[in-house]
Amino acid sequence: MIDNPVLLEERYGARNYAPLPMVLARAEGVYVWDTEGRRYLDMLGAYSAVSYGHCHPRLVAALVAQAGRMDVVSRAFRSDNLGAFLARACEMTGMDRALPMNSGTEAVETALKAARKWGHAVKGIADNSAEIIVCENNFHGRSIAITGFSSVSQYRAGFGPFPAGFACVPFGDAGALENMITPNTAAFLVEPIQGEGGVVVPPDGYLSDCAEICRANNVLLMCDEIQTGLGRTGRLLAAEHDGVRPDGLMLGKALGGGLLPVSLFLARADVMEVFTPGDHGSTFGGNPLAAVVGLEALDVLVEEGLIDRAAELGVYLRDRLSTLNSPAIVEVRGRGLLAGIELDPGRARAEEVCRVMAERGVLTKDTHRNTVRFAPPLTVERGQIDDAVGALAGALQELV
């Protein structure tokens, strides 16, 4: 009988991931340990899901207490903590209403459905004609609809046919958005910073220009802040850097405190009110465990001052990265504690760099544009940032 976890996963798992070889067994704060007891600094933070550090005691306590009191009951019935979670999320973000789901993908699907129904029922677009504009190089998840409007060919190849009703414009070009809008456009879906796409930061003022164009054309501005939201960029929402309040907002990842999949689609009242009972839902969305962890996560974010911390340490991280003078570095991008280091593919492959960094005790994952991404827990300290930058420098020296 096989009892090696790697062999078991290789034998019984689908091959849709290609993880690094170590097997993780324990996590605390900004560190994880493998089955051999070796410690690693986690600079990926589960793609921004572990903003509070691994196994944050307050979040674990909230989850355990709730698990011993009441588990999943479904939305067929009311539960006693969902309202408080939704209220806190709305108050903090300035949105009117929130619809709980689980994964980020589901929150985006919810936004797409809301936008289409709003387009038909409120804006007056003819039935089945509503269009949504998205950006090139986007990443919003992996459902059929979402991959259908991805510009990454691997995400689409073999998975069609895809739903119609999406148009694509270059990211960072507000004029292109304006030109693409037609009377059938219901919404514009955008990431304030493209995380998976390579930590691509648009020009200053891009989002506020888009907001103005959307307002002038009665088009909903839908911001996917699943990766950039909840303090990651040094503001509660990345849209705040441009002084923008979107009409619809998607949150996920860090909302689950690193413990559970918890996501929300939040929106203006007239957008959310298109949903009537039976239109949309999820067995697990807004379950008592998710609600209690989500509420505690929002409170921890504020009470531990993690948003300001991300702003301050983000400056430190970028300062440190700018001292690296490797010829392999093309550009350092990012905001707050979301950073991307783009490498020259002729000199170093980001995937290789991440492998060597792991050997040096620092975990992260490459992303598109041959970019090494840092998205550590917002609780990371200066000395740990120094360690991560040191491991990157060492890896570049070894490989270039």
Ligand X SMILES: Cc1ncc(COP(=O)(O)O)c(C=O)c1O
* Main-chain dihedrals φ then ψ at residue 58, nearest 5 degrees: -65, -40
Q: Are 314 and 374 a contacting pair, CB within 8 Å?
A: no
Q: Which of 66, 137, 147, 227 binds ligand X (CB under 6 A)?
A: 227
Matching residue, tokens 């999949």: 261
DSSP string, 232-265: TTSSSSGGGGGT---SEEEE-GGGGTTTS--EEE
Residue 92, helix vs strand vs coil:
helix
Nearer to ligand X, 82 or 134 (CB): 134
Catalytic site residue from 173, 253, 284, 387: 253
Question: Distance between CA atoms of 351 and 346, rounded to whole angstroms?
Answer: 13
Q: Does residue 140 touch ligand X according to CB under 6 A? A: yes
Q: Which residue has the CB atom at the shortest distance from ligand X?
A: 104
Nearer to ligand X, 116 or 140 (CB): 140
Q: Angle CA(265)–CA(103)–CA(219) in degrees, nearest 5?
A: 30
Residue 386, helix vs strand vs coil:
helix
Indicate if 162 belongs to the active site.
Answer: no
The site string for ligand X over 242-271 (x = CB under 6 A, - otherwise) reads ----------x-------------------
Site for ligand X in 293-312 (CB under 6 A): none
Q: Which of 104, 198, 248, 314 binds ligand X (CB under 6 A)?
A: 104
Indicate if 308 belongs to the active site.
Answer: no
Q: Does residue 196 touch ligand X according to CB under 6 A? A: yes
Give min distance, CB of 138 to ligand X, in A.
Answer: 8
Give min distance, CB of 130 to ligand X, in A.
Answer: 21
Q: Does residue 224 touch ligand X according to CB under 6 A? A: yes
Q: Which two tokens stand for residue 213?
A: 């164009």
Q: What is the dihedral angle through the alpha carbons of 379, 382, 386, 389, rounded to the nearest 10 degrees?
A: 50
Q: Does residue 139 touch ligand X according to CB under 6 A? A: yes
Q: Give the residue from 372, 376, 375 showing the smallest Cα distance to 399.
A: 372
Q: Does residue 108 touch ligand X according to CB under 6 A? A: yes
Q: Enumerate the active-site residues.
A: 139, 224, 253
